[in-house]
Amino acid sequence: MSQIAHIFPFLVAGWVFLCGLYGIATSRHLVHTVISLAVVQTSTYVLLLNIGFRTGGAAPVFADISPGITTVDPIVQALMLTDVVVEATVMALLLAMVVKAYEKAGTLSPDDLRLMRG
Amino acid sequence: MSGAWRIRIFFLAAAGFACLYFLAVRNLPPWGHYRGPYGDVMATSSVFQRHTTDVVNAIDYDYRGFDTLGEEFILFTSVLGVMLLLRDPEKNKGISRTGNMGQATRFGAAGSYAALLVFGLYMTTHGQLTPGGGFQGGVILATASMLIYIAEDFRVFKRITSHPIVEALDALGAAGYAAIGLSAFLFSAPFLTNWMPLGKTGDVFSSGTIAAISACVGLEVTAAFLMLGYTYLEEIVSETGEGG
């Protein structure tokens, strides 16, 4: 049981991932699909930050602590930092596509989108 | 495919994923016992190697600078895509000033705007010392400008943010990052080498190219989010037909 407690935060990341995926699979509205994708992406933040976490570790900023003090992993934090902003713009691009899809098809339901003809 | 079947297939796949994921994380180091060594090496060496007290920014703009350059261009092209899809020069030509905010709102917004502007610039320029940097500062600077829309109206916001200068600043920020990287070639050093004087640790003008790249990123993120805000506001305004 204690083993589960040790990996519980990682399981939370998997749970968030599946929640977002469920949202995408059952989506009836394109904006809902885009937000579900954001949830999926958030699960990677949860996973990576949990991997770099260290009990009692300080923030990796040495402005007021001396170098050598044990900190959490700064590398995963750096990965998150750039991605948060980039994700926001990618969401904006997806939502712009949603706007255009609505203008062309007149619907926001993925099931009713019949723009492609084979 | 009917909805019921889709959900059945999803749960089948989700169960498979859950099993594999559990097996994958089962033998990870227990939570809270990060073992390194890369993070520890970075944390102990970047203060001495790069004179940066914020290790996260040292990684982003120096050790992992090439990667961040890629992310930077994802941001650039995403915003470019939004503009291509949504921007229409004929839209909102005839919008006249309709809404008029009270004096208290305008006064409050102007005061907050000044404070947020200073805060955003502080965040952008002090990324090498404390948490902050170009990405965070840029977002603050850009969203603070939304106060112009609240206090005045869409026309004033448009006059400021749909300016060609904003577009030029966006390109300048992205190109500046690449140019700083290329400038290392002048000294026969590899791409994105930190060749600028490192300065005194803890000083605003320290850490060499990290501060310079952070400023470029700040410029680009500010311009990018201003354009995003403008483009989407234009969508809303043209839908509802109101000007402020």
- CATH code at position A39: 1.10.287
- The CA distance from B129 to B123, in Å, is 10
Pairwise CB contact (< 8 Å): B79 & A89: yes
Is residue A52, in this structure, part of any structural domain at all?
yes
Q: Does A104 touch chain B (CB under 8 A)?
A: no
Question: Is the model's pLDDT at A83 over the cut of 90?
Answer: no
State which residues form the domain around B116: 36-240
Q: Does B14 touch chain A (CB under 8 A)?
A: yes
DSSP code at position B54: B
Q: Is the ipTM of this complex over 0.90?
A: no
- The residue type of B70 is G
Please give, rounded to a whole number of angstroms, the shortest distance from the CA of B123 to a CA of chain A: 14
Is residue A114, in this structure, part of any structural domain at all?
no
User: In the structure, what pLDDT confidence band is assigned to residue B244 with cuts at 50, 70 and 90?
Assistant: very low
- State both tokens at A2: 């204690």
Q: Report pLDDT digits (tens) over A15-50.
A: 999 999 999 999 989 999 999 999 999 999 999 989
User: Residue B92's CB: how many other CB atoms inside 10 A?
Assistant: 18
State which residues form the domain around A76: 2-57+69-105
- pLDDT at position B47: 85
Query: In chain B, what residues touch A112 (CB-CB under 8 Å)?
Result: none
Is residue B87, in this structure, part of any structural domain at all?
yes
Domain count, chain B: 1
Is residue A64, in this structure, part of any structural domain at all?
no
Q: Report pLDDT digits (tens) over B193-209.
A: 888 888 888 888 888 88
- The residue type of B115 is A
- pLDDT at position B99: 60
Question: Is the model's pLDDT at B29 over the cut of 70?
Answer: yes
- The CA distance from B244 to B237, in Å, is 8
Is residue B2, in this structure, part of any structural domain at all?
no
Is residue B16, in this structure, part of any structural domain at all?
no
Question: Residue B54 pairs with which residues in a beta bridge?
Answer: A61
Please give, rounded to a whole number of angstroms, the shortest distance from the CA of A105 to a CA of chain B: 15
Is residue A115, in this structure, part of any structural domain at all?
no
Please give, rounded to a whole number of angstroms, the shortest distance from the CA of A62 to a CA of chain B: 5
Is residue A117, in this structure, part of any structural domain at all?
no
Mean pLDDT confidence for B124-142: 90
Q: Does A109 touch chain B (CB under 8 A)?
A: no
Question: Residue A58 pairs with which residues in a beta bridge?
Answer: A71
- The CA distance from A8 to B211, in Å, is 38
- pLDDT at position B145: 87
Is residue B113, in this structure, part of any structural domain at all?
yes
Is the Cβ–Cβ distance between B62 and B212 less than 8 Å?
no
Whose structure tokens read 């990677």? A44
A-to-B residue pairs, Cβ atoms closer than 8 angstroms: 163
Q: Does B131 touch chain A (CB under 8 A)?
A: yes
- The CA distance from A38 to A84, in Å, is 10
Pairwise CB contact (< 8 Å): A71 & B7: no
Q: Does B43 touch chain A (CB under 8 A)?
A: yes
Is residue A112, in this structure, part of any structural domain at all?
no
Closest CA to B160 of B227, B115, B101: B227
User: In the structure, what pLDDT confidence band is assigned to residue A69 with cuts at 50, 70 and 90?
Assistant: confident
Phi, psi of B115 (to 5 degrees): -65, -45
Please give, rounded to a whole number of angstroms, the shortest distance from the CA of A78 to a CA of chain B: 5
Is residue B63, in this structure, part of any structural domain at all?
yes
Domain count, chain A: 1
Q: Report pLDDT digits (tens) over B61-82.
A: 999 999 999 999 999 999 999 9
Is residue B6, in this structure, part of any structural domain at all?
no
Is residue A111, in this structure, part of any structural domain at all?
no
Is residue B123, in this structure, part of any structural domain at all?
yes
Query: In chain B, what residues touch A82 (CB-CB under 8 Å)?
Result: 60, 67-68, 71-72, 135
Is residue A17, in this structure, part of any structural domain at all?
yes
